[in-house]
A = this chain, B = another copy of it.
Amino acid sequence: MHPQRWGDPAAATDLPATALGLVELAFGLQDRPAVTDATPPGSALDATLLDGLRELVGAEHVLTDDETRTLRTRGKSTTDLLRARAGDLTDAPDAVVRPDGHDEVAAVLAWASEYRVAVVPFGGGTSVTGGLAARRDGFAGVVSLDLVRMKRLLAVDEVSMTATLEPGLRGPEAEALLAGHGLTLGHYPQSFEHASIGGFAATRSSGQSSAGYGRFDAMVVALTAATPTGPLVLGSSPANAAGPDLRQLLLGSEGAFGVITSVTVRVRRTPAVTTYEGWRWSSFDAGSDAMRTLAQAGLLPTVIRLSDESETAINLADPASIGGTEDPGCLMITGYEGTASQVDSRRAAVSAVLAGLGGAPLGTEPGEKWSHGRFGAPYLRDAMLDHGVLVETVETATFWSHRQRLYADVKAALQAALGEGSLVLCHVSHVYETGCSLYFTVAARQVEDPVAQWQAAKAAASDAMIAAGATITHHHAVGTDHKPWFALEIGEVGVRVLRAVKAELDPAGILNPGVLIP
């Protein structure tokens, strides 16, 4: 991972010429090169302290060099990238520790509790909500607890169709191990290529195929976590009535309650057939209503997403190409995965409903194009940042009856905050029987202080979400960025519950301090 950009440094690319032309037209081009010679502050942890850590995991797994620490500094929000590009490495950890297995993780937590060292669990480093920026005050230092050595497929149960995975596995690594058994998790968030299993669990991730495979938190049937108070081993059965579901308390705990050391997830057979196609809708409302109809009829494809008019126009670049008219309408992508007969029957049933509701089939070309580029957007963001364009996303979710208001209010808030000439795009990214998520992408010409520029827009959007009774985040977690609104979402008593759980599991408060808990 590049310390100032997304993903594989070799995959970095400038915008294609046509896109560059559009960007110049819309925002003007600025040259915003990144500072390349920044170094992190020296490690605040002294040699004696670190020697204790080395005894626990082996000296070669306690790293304090600048490059390693730089690569574990913050996540991949636009704000994080802007700071990294400006050479700001003030959030660098003092050391990176790489334990192998539950017991070593537990030992590191005991050490950290004793010496009051903050611990930031690190999987893929792809947080976009400040989930890796621990509070330093009151601590002797900060260590990044890198799960890179915990990448095993611990068990496969092909009768129950479950697999037990270690948290350090990145998306493609987990899928490769499962593919050896003809199995798949089917979890493909945009961060898939770099994000980790532990991160998916700790942040309640939801993937692009969630209509078919479900959210990550719905896939988890068991988990183990190391906490300073002791081990948590949960998951006797798919579901039960044995008290509150404590699995759902650890899922979404963002490293603040413990370090998830394994998860047992429901798996499926690798699909024999995958096919993605496009549908055109006259309006965002018409397409959204069709999604609702499918969800409430129990008739969802594996993938379903719908771009609003603006996003459809921008993503097509040549708007006429999907509709044959100047009004491109709204593009919906539907995808089907499974056996040939499953795909055929589901596709036929869904297509009949969509056609009946006024959707126009566009064939597989738009679907294949989406599928091909599905993990690519973050690379484009880097190219845009190079040219002085601010690009960022926010997402929320609500019940169907509030969708229109939420869409209008958040869009208006972003547009007003970012000013004339900015672009606000949206798509429905995940659907449920009772509601859906809205995923906004913005682009604007950067001003002198783009971090402040974005923070103002983010605050306005967040205020609008809470005012509409919606969630502050559908699938990106709370981190540090969402805390003020998260407190409003769950209320004072909800916050007190989280604090009580935190105090019980992490009495020294060393686990990812400053994250999640308002």
Contacts and interface: CB of A to CB of B under 8 A. Distances in A.
Given A157-B401, A162-B434, A397-B237, A490 B204 contact: no
B243 A486 contact: yes
A252 interface: yes
Contacts of A138: none
A157 to B, nearest CB: 5
Interface stretch (A32-40, A95-103, A474-482): A474-482
Contacts of A157: 399, 401
Interface in A110-159: 157, 159
Contact of A500 (B205, B477, B503): B503
Given A240-B471, A432-B239, A435-B237, A400 B159 contact: yes
- Chain B CB count within 10 A is highest, among A203, A243, A477, A497, for A243
Contact of A399 (B160, B292, B489, B493): B160
A432 B221 CA distance: 11
Interface in A191-246: 203-206, 215, 217-218, 221, 227, 229-234, 236-246
A236 B398 contact: yes
Nearest to A245: B248
A487 to B, nearest CB: 10
A494 interface: yes
A253 B75 CA distance: 36
Interface in A459-518: 469-478, 482, 486, 489-494, 496-501, 503-505, 516
B491 A233 contact: yes
A392 interface: no
Contact of A494 (B159, B232, B239, B486): B232
A251 interface: yes
Interface residues of A, number: 87
Nearest to A503: B500
A162 B243 contact: no
A116 B504 CA distance: 25
Contact of A482 (B242, B245, B298, B482): B242
B252 A245 contact: yes
Nearest to A246: B494
Given A157-B401, A245-B251, A434-B161, A500 B498 contact: no
Contact of A242 (B215, B489, B496): B489
Contact of A470 (B205, B236, B482, B489): B236
Copies in the complex: 2
Nearest to A436: B238
A254 interface: yes
A368 interface: no
A250 interface: yes
A491 to B, nearest CB: 6
A433 interface: yes
A478 B243 contact: yes
Given A160-B401, A230-B493, A496-B229, A435 B249 contact: no
A490 B252 contact: no
Nearest to A486: B242
- Chain B CB count within 10 A is highest, among A396, A486, A489, for A489
A296 interface: yes
Contacts of A469: 236
A5 interface: no
Contacts of A503: 500
A266 interface: yes
Contact of A434 (B217, B221, B397, B486): B221
A362 B93 CA distance: 67
Given A233-B491, A234-B490, A494-B246, A241 B505 contact: no
B399 A498 contact: no
Interface in A232-287: 232-234, 236-246, 248-254, 257, 266, 268
A241 to B, nearest CB: 4
B162 A241 contact: no
B241 A206 contact: yes
Contacts of A231: 491, 493
Contacts of A162: 399, 434
A490 B241 CA distance: 12
10 contacts: A204-B245, A205-B241, A217-B245, A227-B493, A232-B497, A234-B491, A242-B482, A243-B516, A249-B249, A298-B342
Interface of A: 157, 159-162, 203-206, 215, 217-218, 221, 227, 229-234, 236-246, 248-254, 257, 266, 268, 292, 296-298, 342, 396-402, 432-437, 469-478, 482, 486, 489-494, 496-501, 503-505, 516
